[in-house]
Amino acid sequence: MVESRSFFLSMGVFNLTIGAVLLAFSFNIYLYGLVSYQYVSYVTIKFNDPIWLRTIVAILFAIDTAQTIVELYGAWHLTVENYANPSVLTAVIWVWPFLGVTNAFSALIVQGFFLYRLWGFTRQAWLCGFLTFLAVGAFLCGVITSIMAGLVVDLTKLAPLIPWVIVWLAIEAAVDIVITAILSRALWRSRTGLARTNTVIHRCIKAAIQSGLFSSVFAFASLFTFALWNRTYLYTIFSWPLGRIYSYSLLYTLVIRKELSEIVYGASDAGDVRMNSFPTSLRISSVHFRQNTVTDYRADNVKSPLDRCIVLPPPKGSA
């Protein structure tokens, strides 16, 4: 411990430890505010979603809240409780393993949701099964890595965990990138000659790219900062907010359905919006785009471009 303390003092790296933690906590608070706003929007807007989806949203928000509280304690532990005690900077406390496990769990939940969407678009069981296998593998690597980190008492001795962190975050980011690429391709091929339909599809493509891009960028940033500077807390700037990035990507995908419904049906006629439940019975409804009338067939084997993006039920009172 004396050697570790002399290392930190000789390097003068309070900015790479306490400073990094404060930046990470501040950024996380900002993202938690965005996630909270999206969660309130999801609850207040009339979405007729299945119970399993509402449960997932509630679990993610509970994890985000718990992580934010734990991160506050971690920052307090370093800056207030152990003020003028530099040796605490080399100690690995329970906050780090907890955040690792919960981040991995949040990633698994969100990736599972997008894989469910991917299966609805492609119906390719082998592809979705393989990606699910990778997502579960990344989650297990994250749990194992976090447990191993909890058994290390000295921050300067985390180097043996680098291979585990690389496998965990590389697979996690790769799954995000593949899901984003396939979803974007499927949506792009669903374009039609109708302006409103294409607008909805383009918004869905934008949401898919943003979701996969931000999560993969933060995962790779966490990977590289830990691999290169694991004797500091620089990696917390990217790893602490990672759970909020995943939660926001899912909530944004759900909340944006209100805006898309208004684009299709008009702000005054937009009714309840629900997720695609892939109904087995064929239901026909007419969606009017100015002078064009499009018949929307909704069934497992017949899908309109809107179904491929997000199902937008007819407004209340329509046939």
pLDDT tens column, 220-276:
999 999 988 878 888 889 999 999 999 999 998 888 888 777 776 665 444 444 444
> What span, in angstroms and rounded, lies between the C-alpha atoms of 227 and 218?
14
> What span, in angstroms and rounded, lies between the C-alpha atoms of 33 and 30?
5
* One-letter amino acid for residue 89 of the chain: L
Closest CA to 159 of 143, 170, 144, 148: 148
278's torsion region: left (phi>0), alpha (psi -120 to 50) or beta?
left
pLDDT tens digits, one per residue of 13-24: 577 778 888 888
Give the SS3 label for residue 152.
coil
Res. 146: pLDDT tops 80: yes
Per the CB < 8 A criterion, the answer to whether 170 and 106 are in contact is no
> What span, in angstroms and rounded, lies between the C-alpha atoms of 214 and 224?
15
> What span, in angstroms and rounded, lies between the C-alpha atoms of 216 and 203?
20
Per the CB < 8 A criterion, the answer to whether 268 and 279 are in contact is no
Among 25-34, 63-72, 309-318, the least confident range: 309-318
Q: Estimate the crossing angle of helix 242-265 against helix 18-44, to 10 degrees.
A: 30
